[in-house]
Amino acid sequence: MSEKDVLLSIQKLRKVYKTRNGELEAIGQVSFDVKNQEFVSIVGPSGCGKSTLLRIVAGLLDKTEGEIIVDKSKFNPDKEVGFVFQKALLLDWRKIIDNVLLPIEILKLDKKKYTNRAMELLDMVGLKGFENRYPNELSGGMQQRVSIARALIHDPKLILMDEPFGALDAITREKMNLELMRIWSESQKTVLFITHEIAEAVFLSDRVIVLSARPSRQVGSFDIDLPRPRNIELKTTSEFNKYVIDVYKTLEVQ
């Protein structure tokens, strides 16, 4: 990986929470780079600090030690980061189109200029015709599609996704994985994706980072050399399952 390809560099990141019972070390020390337009997944045991790491990258939490270095010639980390949370977190009283346009209002951009972009994104995520509906009229999977469109509306270079499909049933989750692959291939964004599902990480990613139990540290990194575009049949291949087993074994020895 050449330096010019690196969009985001996480170096010796550490996070310690101060609690009433003393200090709790969530992240021991984690270092890795993310290339421009790369899809990177992070897996690890529950409570190992995956979500904490993502929130630090997003600027929602302060780090204790370490550095997060971004290439400001490629993007502005204050304005060009999109976040997709575990739940869609849509505003019930706003129509779908207005939920998608929410970041535009927060960034104080011209809402009228982005309305057509919002409609294009809703079409891209398969929700054309639902722009004037309200969140309670949509299924869970449809709501997550809205949250993806919302994360893309201001054309960010980096998309952070914190287990966005964790609450969905297995069939809907598979559909959303395929949908995410299609959206990523069309938008060519850089994605940092958190998941508990090893197969999901291998299926989606160019690279899978493996973290240990808390306090987390990086214990593995796997370049996923599988052809794109990917389909469900890929999961039946020996090549795919070898990656899944290798990641699982790395987690198992922790």
pLDDT tens for each residue of the chain, 254 residues long: 455 588 899 999 999 998 888 888 899 989 999 999 999 999 998 888 899 999 999 888 999 999 998 877 777 777 788 888 888 889 999 999 999 999 999 888 888 889 999 998 898 888 999 999 999 999 988 998 899 899 889 888 899 999 888 877 888 788 888 888 888 888 888 999 999 899 999 999 999 999 998 888 999 999 999 999 999 999 999 999 999 999 999 987 66
CB atoms under 10 Å from CB of 239, counted, come to 12
**pLDDT given for residue 4 in this prediction:** 56
CA distance 31 to 133: 43
Q: Is residue 110 part of a domain?
A: no
Q: Which residue has the tokens 């808390």?
A: 214
Q: Are 219 and 210 in contact (CB under 8 A)?
A: yes
Q: Is residue 182 part of a domain?
A: no
* Integer CA distances (angstroms), 171 to 138, 143, 168, 177, in order: 17, 16, 8, 10
**pLDDT given for residue 253 in this prediction:** 67
Q: Is residue 113 part of a domain?
A: no
CB environment 23-42: b (16+ within 10 A), e (fewer): eeebbbbbebbbbbebbbbb
Domains held by the chain: number:
1
Q: Is residue 146 part of a domain?
A: no
**pLDDT given for residue 254 in this prediction:** 61
**pLDDT given for residue 49 in this prediction:** 86
Q: Are 180 and 195 in contact (CB under 8 A)?
A: no
Domain that includes residue 56, residue range: 1-80+160-169+195-254
Q: Is residue 176 part of a domain?
A: no
Q: Is residue 248 part of a domain?
A: yes
**pLDDT given for residue 3 in this prediction:** 54
CA distance 161 to 215: 21
Q: Is residue 60 part of a domain?
A: yes
Q: Is residue 134 part of a domain?
A: no
Q: Which residue has the tokens 């949908």?
A: 179
Helix 111-124, helix 140-152: angle, nearest 10 = 140
CATH number at residue 254: 3.40.50.300
Which residue, 10, 9, 39, 2, is CA-closest to 190?
39
Proportion of the chain in helix, strand, coil states, percent, rounded to 5:
40, 25, 35
Q: Are 144 and 94 in contact (CB under 8 A)?
A: no
CA distance 145 to 173: 12
